[in-house]
Amino acid sequence: MPNSVGPSSQSGGGTPSLQVQPITPQLLTNAQGQIIATVIGNQILPVINTQGITLSPIKPGQQTSQAPPVSQPSLLRMPHSQSPLRQASSSSTTSSSSSSALSVGQLVSSDEVDGVNLEEIREFAKAFKIRRLSLGLTQTQVGQALSATEGPAYSQSAICRFEKLDITPKSAQKIKPVLERWMAEAEARHRSGMQNLTEFIGSEPSKKRKRRTSFTPQALEILNSHFEKNTHPSGQEMTEIAEKLNYDREVVRVWFCNKRQALKNTIKRLKPPELGPVAPMDPLVDNMEEHP
DNA sequence: ATGCATGAGGA
DNA sequence: CCTCATGCATG
């Protein structure tokens, strides 16, 4: 019997010390891959929890509407006369080219890039997954339900990537309100006994798409070695690579595009906010997350 | 969960 | 051609 849960070596009567243990929700699934329950710490909340959704860490100030309050980065106010032109209208994204680069002289207490609070995103992503599982819904079901409603729709892939934070901060910020809004509705309906969360509005016949190319391990090694030397091969170079490996040139080009993109997409492993009195310096922390 | 594909928008 | 945001298809 494979014990799937983590170490619960908790001898009773221990001293209530300040043991910081990040809540790591574990999922109990059956042979069909269906979620049976969610385990958080020492508590187990089964999905058949018809009413008592015991998790509502909604703190005051959390908007349920889709109005993006666009929290402004704490700007240092200059001891000067400011122009009385201050409009709180949610302006668009001020395209800052450098996402990761931080200007010197701008203290960033909470990590955020492109005006996105990664901290908040991380928090919501985790909460979302827990709430989704509490309703007994799969990523696919959420995706389908989302397509059936007004507003932006997202696929299972998108849901997955959001939960895993395998996306850019910008994307996360965009999808968050959508999921937030939908989740609120879903929970409301759930309480009403209405199980019609996975309504399926017929999908139109979609265009046929090219079959996915499957690169051989040998080809991948060649491609990767090229990529390490140069992430941006010239057209000429790509043509030669394609010839040598006997793949479509376009396929090779796309491979490089996707490869480059893969390196950028992820707000995991973006430096988490430094806690406490300024950590000396993190030269290079390679943090491999486990994959649940 | 992730790899390759598509398509819009930008130089 | 590239980057970016996303999704279909697949392991």
CATH of the domain at A171: 1.10.260.40
Bases of strand B lying below 7 A from some protein CB: 1-7
What are the CA-CA distances from residue A280 to residues A123, A275, A283 (Å)? 26, 11, 9
Residue A269 approaches strand C within 7 Å at CB: no
Nearest nucleotide relative to A163: CA against C1': B1
Angle at A43 between CA A42 and CA A44, to 5 degrees: 130
Task: Give residue A75's pLDDT.
Answer: 33
Q: 3-class SS at A72? A: coil
Confidence of residue A200 (pLDDT cuts 50, 70, 90): low
Q: Clarify whether residues A191 and A253 are in a common domain.
A: no
Q: Clarify whether residues A135 and A183 are in a common domain.
A: yes
A175 in any annotated domain: yes
A228 in any annotated domain: yes
> Average pLDDT, stretch A246-250?
97
A254 in any annotated domain: yes
Nearest nucleotide relative to A250: CA against C1': B5
Q: Clarify whether residues A144 and A222 are in a common domain.
A: no
A66 in any annotated domain: no
Distance CA A184, CA A174 (A): 17
Residue nearest to nucleotide C9 (CA to C1'): A212
Asked whether the predicted pLDDT for residue A223 surpasses 60, the reply is yes
Nearest nucleotide relative to A156: CA against C1': C7
A198 CA vs C9 C1’ separation (Å): 22
Q: Containing domain of residue A255, as a range?
A: 217-269
Residue nearest to nucleotide C4 (CA to C1'): A261
A221 in any annotated domain: yes
**CB under 7 Å from strand B:** A 139, 156-157, 160-161, 163-164, 166, 207, 209-210, 212-215, 220, 251, 254-255, 257-258, 261-262, 291-292
Instruction: Extract the tokens encoding A120.
Output: 């908040």
Asked whether the predicted pLDDT for residue A39 surpasses 80, the reply is no
| Domain finish residue from A201, A226, A251 | A201
Q: Clarify whether residues A143 and A172 are in a common domain.
A: yes
A286 in any annotated domain: no
A145 CA vs B3 C1’ separation (Å): 25
A70 CA vs C5 C1’ separation (Å): 21
Nearest nucleotide relative to A213: CA against C1': B4
Q: Is the pTM of this model over 0.95?
A: no
A195 CA vs B4 C1’ separation (Å): 36
Nearest nucleotide relative to A139: CA against C1': B1
Q: Clarify whether residues A179 and A241 are in a common domain.
A: no
A192 in any annotated domain: yes
Q: What is the largest CA-CA distance in chain A?
A: 71
A17 in any annotated domain: no
A5 CA vs B3 C1’ separation (Å): 30
Asked whether the predicted pLDDT for residue A155 surpasses 80, the reply is yes
Count of the separate structural domains present in chain A? 2
CATH of residue A246's domain is: 1.10.10.60
User: Per-residue pLDDT tens for A10-26?
Assistant: 333 333 333 333 334 44
Residue A158 approaches strand C within 7 Å at CB: yes
A243 CA vs B1 C1’ separation (Å): 31
Bases of strand C lying below 7 A from some protein CB: 1-11
Q: Quick count: other Cβ atoms within 10 Å of Cβ A143?
A: 20
Residue A214 approaches strand C within 7 Å at CB: yes
Task: Give residue A260's pLDDT.
Answer: 97
Number of H helices and number of E strands within chain A? 7, 5
Asked whether the predicted pLDDT for residue A139 surpasses 80, the reply is yes
Q: Clarify whether residues A223 and A259 are in a common domain.
A: yes
| Domain finish residue from A201, A227, A260 | A201
| Domain finish residue from A146, A170, A201 | A201
A95 CA vs B9 C1’ separation (Å): 14
Distance CA A241, CA A227 (A): 11
Residue A170 approaches strand C within 7 Å at CB: yes
